[in-house]
Amino acid sequence: MRKIFTLNTGKNWWQGEIVCNYNLYTWVKILALIIAIPFAIVYLLGVGLWQLLRLCGRGIKTAFAWLSDRLHRSSAPVDDNAEDELDDEVDADEAEEEPEAEKTGMEQPEQPNNGREDRNIFWLAAAIVLLIIGFCCWKGCSSQPQEEPDYMLATAYEKAFDKVVVARAYLDGVQTEVDSKCPRALVGFKFINGQPVKDFDFEGMTYDQAVKVVAEDWKPLVTENLNPKVKLTEQEMAVVTLAAMRMGKYGFARSTFLQKINEGKLNEAGEWLLLQKADGSIRNTGDEPKQYFYVLRMLWEGNLTIEDLLDYPMFSYKNIDMGAVTTYDGKTFFNSEVYDVLEKGNFATPREVFELWPDIVYHN
């Protein structure tokens, strides 16, 4: 399951937002815990205090009775004959009462056992409270989060987003900055939280925090439309995210590409990496969208990796001759000569821009 509460800090530590991911079952658990835990604490304290007071009262009463008896015995004169006569009278009275009770068929009333009844009520209430708490926590304790489809989907998305950043740098370019408040690596992302990226306030954020903001902003579009039962690799998840960004909110949700993925037909899905109209027909576009989605298809089918894009000059894919990789009926195919095209360009590579230099190993 996703985290219930997510804290996003702003430019100041005292400013930010709390995002609540909820469903009906989650709120039932929260309300049950809110009710059960205080009730259990108050009840246990109340019962414990009551039992303590009862024990203290009994102790005080017994002490006073014992003390009173001792005082009475010590003050009264000792008369052995009187005590013997009194004992004989008590025995005679008891002997007379027993046949009378048997004759009338009446049973002697039992002394009430309030202590035992209170203990039974206490243990019953404690058992009920423990059952409620156990029910509320059962799902989280009995299964690991990794086994939940929603958790796995969100985790796969988060792990793949670094690849998305690299791919967007290659496909859309990375300038030095849009303005003084916009991290250069986010220039390829045109909107954040529904507003242009250049208008978003990044003041006080590190690069990683800024990337996280963008990742969280796009996450619902991807994770809420994908079938969690379909397993995707990190690169496939990155391609899905890139396609969702290029197709847009409504275009991605109704795309045949997404439909094929959710049906588990991953091989067929690659053929639908293109732009479609609202009625499902293929949109007629210029070369740039075709070149863009051609690169995505190469990534989807494994003819190219996102790590490869680190060393290709940005925008070099715009030199691909789509006529050379398209059949007469409009379908594209892979051509190994494309590699040579991608290696040539006048722009810097994403590796140079991000300064992601490999570790240098010196050998003696």
pLDDT in tens, 342-357: 999 999 898 887 776 6
Total number of domains in the chain: 2
Residue 99 domain-assigned? Answer: no
Q: To the nearest whole percent, how much of the chain has pLDDT over 70?
A: 59
Q: Which domain holds residue 57?
A: 1-75+114-143
| Same domain, yes or no: 9 and 56 | yes
| pLDDT tens, residue by residue, 89-103 | 545 555 555 555 455
Helices (H), the chain: 24-75, 80-104, 114-142, 149-172, 207-223, 234-247, 249-253, 256-262, 266-269, 287-301, 306-309, 338-342, 350-354
Query: Per the domain annotation, does 360 fall within a domain?
Result: no
Q: Tell me 143's DSSP state.
A: S
Structure-token pair, residue 301: 């089918």
Residue of 27 and 291 predicted with greater confidence: 291
Spatial contact of 289 and 281, defined as CB atoms under 8 Å apart: no
Tokens of 97: 């009462």
Do residues 157 and 223 make contact, with C-beta atoms less than 8 angstroms apart? yes
Tell me the three state secondary structure of residue 199. helix
194: domain CATH number? Answer: 1.10.530.40
Residue 282 reports pLDDT greater than 60: yes
Among 124, 143, 162, the domain boundary falls at 143
Same domain for 133 and 161? no
Tens-place pLDDT, residues 182-191? 555 555 565 5
What is the average per-residue pLDDT within 155-160? 90
pLDDT at 241 over 90: yes
Q: Name the β-bridge partners of 6.
A: 19
Same structural domain, 236 and 249: yes
DSSP 83: H
Q: Are residues 134 and 259 in the same domain?
A: no
119 and 248 together in one domain: no
In which band, very low, low, confident or very high, does the pLDDT at 244 lie, cut at 50, 70 and 90? very high
- Residue 98 in any domain: the answer is no
Kindly state whether residue 82 falls inside one of the protein's structural domains. no
Asked if 68 and 193 sit in the same domain, the reply is no
Structural domain contains residue 281: yes
Least confident of 175-179, 272-276, 303-307, 323-327: 175-179
- Cα–Cα distance, 202 to 212 (Å, whole number): 12
* One domain for residues 178 and 317: yes
pLDDT at 141: 45
pLDDT of 322 reads 93
- When pLDDT is averaged across residues 309-320 and rounded to a whole number, the result is 94
Whether residue 102 lies inside any domain: the answer is no
